[in-house]
Structure 1
Amino acid sequence: MNKKTELPIFPFSAIIGQEEMKLALQLNVIDPKIGGVMIMGDRGTGKSTTIRAIADLLPKIDIVKGDPFNSHPSDLELMSAEVLARYRNNEELETEGIKIPMIDLPLGATEDRVCGTIDIEKALTEGIKAFEPGLLAKANRGILYVDEVNLLDDHLVDILLDSAASGWNTVEREGISIRHPARFVLVGSGNPEEGELRPQLLDRFGMHAEIRTVKDPVLRVQIVEERTSFDLNPEIWLTKYKDDQEKITQRIIDAQNILPNVEIEYELRVKISEICSILDVDGLRGDIVTNRAAKAYAAYNNRQKVELEDIKTIITLCLRHRLRKDPLETIDSGDKVQQVFNEVFEIEE
């Protein structure tokens, strides 16, 4: 593709503030099994800009050339059925490097558009499974972004969360079934004024980041000036932040490599579960995600052992959306998580 036809993307390293959102996105990229991130906040706070920026930052991936599912050339778990059959027949698979897919799911998307469709007529007349891949296929091994996810049909949100959790998408029609890999980092964003997601759906997002409009006038001016300068001359900006961008990319790659060796002591795991129990978090998803995120954060900091500070940094992101809503509660859910954390670990505020 001609470089000039690509729209320049604002550098991730140039984004001012919104640390919660930036950290949650980086941890999900390091370990996609954390389960995605829900970003709630005011309009015009750079949600879309930040999500596009993290996708642009990530290293290229190798795919089997011409495969609509971005199949991995050697990892069996990340192959479509067709590529897997070719691989097992010892066929030579031609590969190409592509940028991490970053797929936008429009609000009015139909189930067919999301999941893909089976051409029944072709299947019956020609005896082949004619499948038209959907957005889940395009998002495999990438990031799927749903803006205003709280306005999306609950049924579609369910499908997205199921695919994100299982790593597979299954389309069935008239007795014909197609299954393909759909492993992606699910990122949802929304404005709380337009309604919250149902608790059952919200709980299935690994992390929940809250972002607010910057109040400091000096910082606001800086953000506006930086964005204006970038829009006027993006090339200069991209050059200016090139080193910073490369450092973050390398840090993420290093963390992905360290992650399998990161350990969390039994005593810390017990304390995490104690916090979840005191907060009355339903199920064990909160415990699992907190453990995963703590390990990813340790790897992010180039360590193979989780420390107390790692848990303190990520626990609010992992648990605040899992607390039961009490209309009489005066304390913010994030503050409540930190308060219980301090009690369990006997930390003086």
Structure 2
Amino acid sequence: MNAATQRPVFPFAALIGQTPLQQALLLAAIDPGLGGVLVSGPRGTAKSTAARALAELLPEGQWVNLPLGASEDRLIGTLDIETVLRDGSVRFSPGLLAKAHRGVLYVDEVNLLPDALVDALLDAAASGVNTVERDGVSHSHDASFVLIGTMNPEEGELRPQLIDRFGLMVELQNCFEARVRQQIVKARLAFDLDPQGFLAGYTQQQSTYVQRIRAAREALPQLGFDDAVHAHVSALCIGAAVDGLRADLVMLRAARALAALEQAAAVTTEHVGRVAEAVLAHRRHDRETRAGGDARESEAPLRTADDADAASSQLSEGAAPDAAATDSDWGYLPPQPAGVAQVKGVIPLNAKKR
């Protein structure tokens, strides 16, 4: 049982209808350097239940929850400046990143967090190190954890620059299959009525998950990538019109983690195909739309300084501007005819009132 929660946790092995999410969480547990998992979905789709369940499979079982109102110092920690000035020694007050080391750092409604906190979270999740700098004093400590962020898209989206930095993303949907809904409800009711008895029925499966994660972590460094795997990853990322190369790197690492989880002798294109959707779900672009935008930009006529001077001269002299000089995106509007209305006699003002 996780000491932090002080209550039984629904077992990972008992999750129903969450296969893509379970796979993504296991891959992040095997290789925390993937950058975490973003789970998007409506309320009541077991996002937090799955995250808590994963923490139970890790060696320390550490579960740390980041509240929405947390400050940056609470997250990354801070230096005791008074001790530095008084004794000349560095005294570090650890934050939640230090507490989450080798465990799970859970952020509910990550899309509502300030961008500065999300940046700090993602930096530490990807590097495994947290660095705090205050008044010229720098302190670093290990911060290797599984970052799990959840969000309800109805409450707002993450900025593209931030969402891209999450390694994997899983989009959950409401379940409208009666049989599956009944299985989920029955399992939850059974757990609530007798948590210890329910957990006892999954002891062996839970132990198997723990052993698989440990073995996969040990096997991870020995697995490499051949040219066929690299070519397949490149083709998938190009086809999805992703920005930059982060998708390629994450896809390779995720495929390697999956191969290690299954104790495969090598990483194959089949492993790549099975992790591709979680890597590309939040990075995919419409190639036709993007290509169309690039083409329109490349077809726009180039204007020189001489062209601009000529157009300005024509306007200042009252002449109609040349069509070639104005038929472009310079922000000028063509002259529009203005209506003229006859006005009755106007009584002039006294000179003193003007």
Deviation, structure 1 residue 320: 1.7
Corresponding residue for residue 261 of structure 1: 222
Corresponding residue for residue 6 of structure 1: 6
Q: 2:136 aligns with which of 171, 175, 182?
A: 175
Whole-Å separation in 2 of the counterparts to 1:122 and 1:254: 44
Corresponding residue for residue 101 of structure 2: 140
Distance 1:39 1:269, change over 3 A: same
3-state SS in 2 of match to 1:322? coil
Deviation, structure 1 residue 279: 2.1
Q: Is the 8 A contact 1:259 1:304 kept in 2?
A: no
Q: 1:251 aligns with which of 208, 212, 221?
A: 212
Corresponding residue for residue 287 of structure 1: 248
Q: Is the 8 A contact 1:20 1:211 kept in 2?
A: no
Q: Is the 8 A contact 1:261 1:304 kept in 2?
A: no
Q: Which has the larger radius of gyration?
A: 2
Deviation, structure 1 residue 122: 2.2
* Residue identity matched to 2:40: M
Correspondences of 1:1-349 after superposition (within 5 Å): 6-58=6-58, 60=59, 99-324=60-285
Q: Is the 8 A contact 1:258 1:304 kept in 2?
A: no
Deviation, structure 1 residue 268: 2.0
* Residue identity matched to 1:29: A
Whole-Å separation in 2 of the counterparts to 1:115 and 1:244: 35
* Residue identity matched to 1:245: Q
| Structure 1 consecutive aligned stretches of length 4 or more whose deviation exceeds 4 Å | 325-329
CA distances 1:270-289 after superposition (whole Å, capped 9, x unpaired): 12112212322111111111
Identity of aligned residues (%): 50
CA distances 1:88-120 after superposition (whole Å, capped 9, x unpaired): xxxxxxxxxxx2322110111111110112221
Deviation, structure 1 residue 328: 7.5
* Residue identity matched to 2:42: D
Q: Is the 8 A contact 2:9 2:53 kept in 1?
A: yes
Q: Is the 8 A contact 2:33 2:127 kept in 1?
A: no
* Residue identity matched to 2:20: E
Deviation, structure 1 residue 290: 0.7
3-state SS in 1 of match to 2:158? coil
Whole-Å separation in 2 of the counterparts to 1:30 and 1:242: 21
Deviation, structure 1 residue 218: 2.2
Deviation, structure 1 residue 182: 1.4
Whole-Å separation in 1 of the counterparts to 2:197 and 2:235: 51
How many pairs are equivalent?
A: 289
Q: Is the 8 A contact 2:2 2:61 kept in 1?
A: no
Distance 1:288 1:222, change over 3 A: same
Deviation, structure 1 residue 267: 1.7
Which one has a larger percent strand, Structure 1 or Structure 2?
1
Distance 1:2 1:22, change over 3 A: closer
Whole-Å separation in 2 of the counterparts to 1:229 and 1:100: 23
Deviation, structure 1 residue 2: 11
Whole-Å separation in 2 of the counterparts to 1:270 and 1:157: 33
Taking structure 1 as the reference length, what is the TM-score of the superposition? Answer: 0.78
3-state SS in 1 of match to 2:149? strand
User: RMSD of aligned C-alpha atoms?
Assistant: 2.1
Distance 1:259 1:245, change over 3 A: same
Q: Is the 8 A contact 1:116 1:131 kept in 2?
A: yes
Deviates more, 1:228-237 or 1:164-173: 164-173
Whole-Å separation in 1 of the counterparts to 2:280 and 2:167: 9
Whole-Å separation in 2 of the counterparts to 1:256 and 1:265: 20
CA distances 1:53-80 after superposition (whole Å, capped 9, x unpaired): 111022x2xxxxxxxxxxxxxxxxxxxx
Whole-Å separation in 1 of the counterparts to 2:276 and 2:9: 31
3-state SS in 1 of match to 2:281? helix
Distance 1:279 1:262, change over 3 A: same
3-state SS in 1 of match to 2:266? coil
Whole-Å separation in 2 of the counterparts to 1:250 and 1:214: 31
Deviation, structure 1 residue 302: 1.6
* Residue identity matched to 1:225: K
Whole-Å separation in 1 of the counterparts to 2:208 and 2:127: 32
Deviation, structure 1 residue 127: 2.1
* Residue identity matched to 2:280: L
Whole-Å separation in 2 of the counterparts to 1:271 and 1:176: 46
Q: Is the 8 A contact 2:47 2:150 kept in 1?
A: yes
Whole-Å separation in 2 of the counterparts to 1:13 and 1:118: 41
3-state SS in 1 of match to 2:56? helix
